[in-house]
């Protein structure tokens, strides 16, 4: 990174989460001093086992809604529950984490030259009427539905951060993250990749909601983190809002088949009613990320699912840890 003897300090809020912990590892590898902040609402200290003994990593137990405990030159804001089961369990905490968290970050940055990279979400597009979704699309969101605490919370955070950019020249950057998966996903987060993998490992029926024709696009975590880091390290961000995800679109049935192929076994597939406000299609237009960041997802779906599957097997006690770790490194190297 060309830091010489001086390490720049970055703060990651939500550092004990799935994405935050992977980002912490990457930034330590890049030569940064990393401070992690997490209130452990959904974060897990086990996610930080790979960095907890690194002398350049420092963990603070705290809440982004409170005054931040440390100065950092760059802040990566990943503090918010991201799965429907988690963010709907306490809607008020979800909404205020997005809204007040953004305000606290700006208070921290007001008198200092601080760059803020905010983890927004494809959920700001809602159940989209435009396909694939470009950054210029305003979205189709239910403001009073069960998902609104997350969807509208993220939209309000975007408003706060973009107003600060326009009015005060704040260096705020938004990454709209599409479906991402990989090792360390919560076993019980209720999202489709973790659901399918856990169900197949435990020889349960795969639960497909709706008719299974609804589509998503899945990005492996190392690819996503690469885009996040590139967005954060740009000297100037001409376009402060960028989609990050994999533009390869597939149906829920296709994902189920992929998981069973990786597992080399078949289970029953059962259908359940589609949840309220669940989008029918979701796929990013990443033209801007390709042009501005050189971003390109590289890990093939089967390789990424295989790495995630082995991680779940290990955590569910169904594979020796040494075998799981060696195989996971091999697959990650493909990306």
Task: Provide the annotated active-site residues.
Answer: 150
The answer to whether the CB of 271 falls within 8 A of the CB of 211 is yes
CA distance 302 to 109: 42
Structure tokens at 297: 């997802």
229, 233, 236, 241: CA torsion to nearest 10: 20
Burial of residue 219 (number of CB atoms within 10 Å: 0-12, 13-18, 19+): buried
Reference 292, options 248, 335, 239; nearest CA is 239
User: Is the Cβ–Cβ distance between 154 and 120 less than 8 Å?
Assistant: yes
Residue 188 vs residues 7, 61, 193, 249, 332: alpha-carbon distances, Å: 37, 23, 11, 24, 23
């Amino acid at each position: 990174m060309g830091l010489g003897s001086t390490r720049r300090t970055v703060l990651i809020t939500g550092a004990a989460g799935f994405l935050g912990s992977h980002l912490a590892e990457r930034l330590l590898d890049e030569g940064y001093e990393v401070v992690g902040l997490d209130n452990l609402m959904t974060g897990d200290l086990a996610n930080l086992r790979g960095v907890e003994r690194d002398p350049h990593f420092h963990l603070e137990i705290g809440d982004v809604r409170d005054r931040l405990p440390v100065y950092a030159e760059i802040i990566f804001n990943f503090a918010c529950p991201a799965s429907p089961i988690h963010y709907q369990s306490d809607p008020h905490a979800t909404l205020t984490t997005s809204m007040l968290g953004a305000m606290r970050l700006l208070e921290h940055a007001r008198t200092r030259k601080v760059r803020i990279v905010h983890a927004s979400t494809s959920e700001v597009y809602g159940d989209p009427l435009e396909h694939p979704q470009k950054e210029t699309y305003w979205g189709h969101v239910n403001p009073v539905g069960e998902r609104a605490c997350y969807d509208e919370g993220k939209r309000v955070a975007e408003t706060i951060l973009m107003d600060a950019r326009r009015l005060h020249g704040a260096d705020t950057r938004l990454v709209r993250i599409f479906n991402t998966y990989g090792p360390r996903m919560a076993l019980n987060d209720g999202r489709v990749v973790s659901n399918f993998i856990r169900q197949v490992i435990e020889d349960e029926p795969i639960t497909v909601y709706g008719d299974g024709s609804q589509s998503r696009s899945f990005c492996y975590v190392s690819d996503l983190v690469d885009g996040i880091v590139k967005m954060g390290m740009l000297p100037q961000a001409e376009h402060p809002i960028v989609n990050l995800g994999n533009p390869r679109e597939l149906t829920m049935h296709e994902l189920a088949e992929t998981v069973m192929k990786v597992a080399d076994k078949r289970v029953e597939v059962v259908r359940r009613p589609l949840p309220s406000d669940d989008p029918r299609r979701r796929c990013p237009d990443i033209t801007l990320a390709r042009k501005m960041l050189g971003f390109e997802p590289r890990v093939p779906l089967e390789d990424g699912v295989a790495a995630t599957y082995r991680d779940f097997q290990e955590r569910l006690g169904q594979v020796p840890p040494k075998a799981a770790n060696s195989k996971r490194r091999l697959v990650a190297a493909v990306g």
